[in-house]
A and B are shown apart, each in its own frame.
Chain A
Amino acid sequence: MTKGKKIAAYTFLSIVSFFSVFPLYWMFSAATNKSVDVTRGKMIPGGAMAENFQKLISSQNVSAALVNSFKYAIVMTLISLVVCSVAGYGFEIFHDKWKDRVMSVILLAMMVPFAATMIPLYQMFSKAHLLNSTLGFILPGISTPFLIMMFRQSARSFPSDIIEAARLDGLSELQIFFRMFIPTMRSTYAAAMTIVFMNAWNSYLWPKVIMSDAGSITMPMLVANLTEGYVTDYGVLMLAVLICTLPTVMIFFLLQKSFAEGITGAVK
């Protein structure tokens, strides 16, 4: 690259990076300021975070929403990872004509928009008394074609002589999966974990449909509820947004490296 082009590239990347990060920085700074200061355009962190926090917990049940969100997202992540990775492994390692056909039918489910299944699911779950429950939250999202495909793709790179050797050693198929496959596929699991946790934590439409009790609501629902009043306290609102965003941002930073590796493996 010539010098001029290099400067252009750096400038472009810097501008895009600035616009990507700025709204999040502003959210953080607003969470530490009084609403009056926020509306005056103050953009540096202030000292009103504790005050905002007091106001937030006195008007909203933050701890319940946080506990719910963590509970739903963690249970969903654990079950979904096991179910989808077992299936992806099964589709690849034991593949034959019929299993490949089943896989292509499953892939069709990717095309089904959630709006089309939402109403029958709601009716089904309300008959089964699953509204306002963790099971109700997770059931529609445990098994996803995307995740199955991701694990199927990564199982392709799992050497078959390891499987053969393990079979000769007398390990059962399930033991091979848990003792051999899971430890070697750490980066795929990390990527899948990031995706499932974030999707579960951030999901909004389905919880809005089934979580009618005030005690079952999630963090995103709490944030949305805060905007419904006539007067918005920006400090309090942005603090709630900050609390809602921190867990996913932290997971992202922790698993960033393996996330990129896992995605690369899946796209191949």
Chain B
Amino acid sequence: MNRAGKKLSLGQKQNLAGWAFLTPAALLIVVMSFFPMIQAFVLSFKTGIGNRMTWTGITNYVRMFQDQVFMQALKNNFLYLMIQVPIMLIVALVLASLLNNKNLRLKGVFRTAIFLPCATSLVSYAVIFRSLFAVDGLINVLLINMGIFNTGYNFLGHPFSARVVLILTLVWRWTGYNMVFYLSGLQNIEYSVYEAAKIDGASPWQSFWKITIPLLRPTILLTAIMSTNGTLQLFDESVNLTNGGPANATITMSHYIYNVSFKYVSNFGYAAAMSYLILILVAVLAFVQMKVGDKRD
């Protein structure tokens, strides 16, 4: 680059070192994330089986809105999003503010116990809950012993109860995870703020709404975006807890995309078009949440 003998200045050297440091990671993201994303976009306008593809225009995008299974999957994802995410975030917030109390004993025990579900893999916990809620599973045994049911109820075989179980398991797995983020956020708030509020006569309820919520806003925004993103991409639970059933009543978009790509006769073009709908939904919802959450008043 430079003529022999001419040395780089110290600043230039450091600038180059900086680029060298970040290039491997940046390159990997471009090749493994952005490049495939563009390829998927091109693919979404093609149709065909396997690798024999022809251009088809927007047919795939029209088709997915007429595809009853995909529409069901879309509704399911939104159902999980609307019900599970708010319940989980509120419970996590309540737990974190309880655990942030200085005078509470056994704090470490509670925190570890509540976070423990996060250490299990998604497949494992889905299989555990599938067994617990099976016709011959523990929940049915307990309900029969208590005299509530005469025979085992097929929780995962009926659309309503299967959705309820799926939402319950999601809450079980992810509440502790979000709680840890809130706990970390709370630790950045000086405890004296609460003490001052108490002296001024604020009730715990008031300090929760007037101190905790506003100061935790960035963390709440972060967890809301992460949970929305995760819920729209649900896969493991749908496959291993209910296998999408009964009759696609619990199937998620990612699960259906997987089936279209790898389980049935592969139709990569159609699958790519459906995956773009997830991409658009994730982007739009994140944008909306940032607009709402960043509002400073």
A interface residues with partner B (beta carbon < 8 Å): 1, 5, 9, 12-14, 16-17, 19-21, 23-24, 26-27, 30, 38-41, 43, 83-84, 86-87, 89-91, 93-96, 99, 102, 106, 109-124, 139-140, 142-143, 145, 148, 173-174, 177, 198, 201-202, 204-205, 208-209, 219-221, 223-224, 226-227, 232, 234, 237-238, 241, 244-245, 248-249, 251-252, 256, 260, 263-264, 267-268
B interface residues with partner A (beta carbon < 8 Å): 14-15, 17-22, 24-26, 28-29, 32-37, 39-40, 43, 51, 91, 94-95, 98-99, 101, 103-104, 109-110, 112-125, 127-132, 134, 136-138, 141-142, 145, 172, 176, 180-181, 183-185, 187-188, 204, 219, 222, 229, 232-233, 235-236, 239-240, 253-254, 257-258, 261-262, 268, 271-272, 274-276, 278-279, 282-283, 286
Query: Which residues on the A side are within 8 Å of B128 (C-beta)?
Result: 23-24, 26-27, 238, 241
Query: Which residues on the B side are within 8 Å of A112 (C-beta)?
Result: 33-34, 37, 279
Please state if B276 and A20 are interface contacts (CB–CB under 8 Å): no
Complex CA distance for A106 and B30, rounded to whole angstroms: 8
Please state if A263 and B22 are interface contacts (CB–CB under 8 Å): no
Please state if B129 and A248 are interface contacts (CB–CB under 8 Å): no
Known pairs A99-B19, A115-B274, A260-B183. 13 more at Cβ < 8 A?
Answer: A91-B22, A95-B18, A99-B22, A111-B279, A113-B278, A116-B278, A116-B279, A120-B272, A140-B32, A205-B254, A224-B239, A248-B121, A267-B188
* Chain B min CB distance to A96 (Å): 7
Contact A111-B283, Cβ < 8 Å, known A20-B176, A94-B18, A227-B130: yes
Complex CA distance for A106 and B26, rounded to whole angstroms: 7
Please state if B240 and A224 are interface contacts (CB–CB under 8 Å): yes
Query: Which residues on the B side are within 8 Å of A256 (C-beta)?
Result: 112
Please state if A120 and B180 are interface contacts (CB–CB under 8 Å): no
Query: Which residues on the B side are within 8 Å of A1 (C-beta)?
Result: 101, 103, 204
